[in-house]
Chain A
Amino acid sequence: MMQIGKMGEFQLDVLREVGNIGAGNATTALSHLIQKEIDMTVPQVKIISFHEIADFIGGDEVVVIAVFLRVEGDCPGNMFFILDIPSADYLLEHLMGTLPKRSEESQFTEMELSALHEIGNILAGSYLSSLADFTKLNMQPTVPSLAIDMAGALLSYGLIELGQAGDYALTIDTAFFEGNENVRGHFFLIPDPDSFETLFTSLGVPLHGDY
């Protein structure tokens, strides 16, 4: 198994490109969905210890909407699509033409949840299918699951598989935003530790050292 900590700058660059391709496609899909232009950041590839992951989103206790799915096939891993509550409101308003009304910040109606679920499904699907095309690897998403809760509680779930192998995770994080920053969210791809070798081999990238 490849040591996550021993990757060179070249390997990290490749992973950044992986994030770029996947998130680029997903962002385009989102842009079509709400008929707005969406920009994205250059993906950040980071090796982080478990307690740091929620800091990306603003802290352990920040309430977020997360769509989670397992990636199965040649290159297994976990994937999250994360939105904050105001972004979800904005998306729903543009998709369904109604302003969400609710007493508590994170109490969505069944219909709204279903719509958010579907958005997550479409975006994660386009992320993965572009990645699968690019790498020629077989990658299949499981049916996604949606939850609204503390970021730390949700993201830690995606790290369990890794927890059995080491104390660090490699995440490919791409943030996206609408022009006026009404929609902000993240894609996290967290490949299983064994998947890096498959990924690099299929792309013809050497497994060790800098190139």
Chain B
Amino acid sequence: MEIIKVGMADAAVAKSPDKIRTTGLGSCVGVVLYDRNKKIAGMAHVMLPDSTLGKNLETNLLKYADTAIPTLINRMEEIGANSRMLVAKLAGGAQMFTFLSQNDTMRIGPRNVEACKQVLKEHSIQILAEDTGGSSGRTIEMDAETGILQIRMVNQGTKEV
């Protein structure tokens, strides 16, 4: 069994019995996709909602919700997943710092979550579970064997969805 690490603005796929893990999700969103029949899991660490907000063109596709999720679906298909069988789980999108003035950049966590949901909807992918919002960082680990997503927060222990 191997644990594959996903960095910020990064994505990875895994087959049973491997696991995928990303650490320190703040306002970023961890999008996890799973094909139960093939036991193939994919994870993207999404940083921003929309690639059209980007200021330059040499963009990392894995940074934005609207480009990362389709890329992840393609990669999962490449290793044998059926895109029509995919289900999703979401974690992250927290607001790490609170400010008096609430401009758009500061509200990035909730915007990331909304964008991910929108993109999943466009691809007709059902969201089975989510643990989003709040003000705590999360570390998540997806087991490609069981499809269980483990979520760890500082001072709040570990939960499974």
For residue A47, give the distance in angstroms from its CB to the closest CB of chain B: 16
Interface string of A164-181 (1 = CB under 8 A from B): 111100000000000000
Instruction: Please determine whether A156 and B155 come into contact, CB atoms closer than 8 angstroms.
Output: no
Interface size on B, residues (CB 8 A): 34
Among listed A38-46, A60-68, A88-96, A129-137, interface-contacting one = A60-68
For residue B62, give the distance in angstroms from its CB to the closest CB of chain A: 10
For residue A142, give the distance in angstroms from its CB to the closest CB of chain B: 7
Say if the beta carbon of B135 comes within 8 Å of chain A.
yes
For residue A70, give the distance in angstroms from its CB to the closest CB of chain B: 8
**Chain B, range 24-42, C-beta contacts under 8 Å to A:** 24-28
Interface string of B149-160 (1 = CB under 8 A from A): 000001100000
Instruction: Please determine whether B99 and A157 come into contact, CB atoms closer than 8 angstroms.
Output: no
Among listed B11-19, B69-77, B78-86, B136-144, interface-contacting one = B136-144
**Interface of A: prevailing SS:** mixed
Residues from chain A with a CB closer than 8 A to the CB of B137 are 149-150, 152-154
Leading 9 A-B pairs by shortest Cβ distance: A152-B24, A153-B137, A153-B26, A51-B7, A60-B24, A145-B97, A60-B23, A150-B137, A50-B8
By a beta-carbon cutoff of 8 Å, the part of chain A in contact with chain B is 50-51, 54, 59-61, 63, 68, 104, 106-107, 142-143, 145-154, 156-157, 159-161, 163-167
By a beta-carbon cutoff of 8 Å, the part of chain B in contact with chain A is 7-10, 23-28, 47-48, 53-56, 60, 63, 94, 96-101, 105, 108, 135-139, 154-155
A sample of 15 cross-chain residue pairs with beta-carbon separation below 8 angstroms, ordered by A number, consists of A60-B139, A104-B155, A106-B155, A149-B96, A150-B26, A152-B8, A152-B137, A153-B94, A153-B136, A153-B138, A157-B27, A157-B108, A163-B47, A165-B56, A166-B56
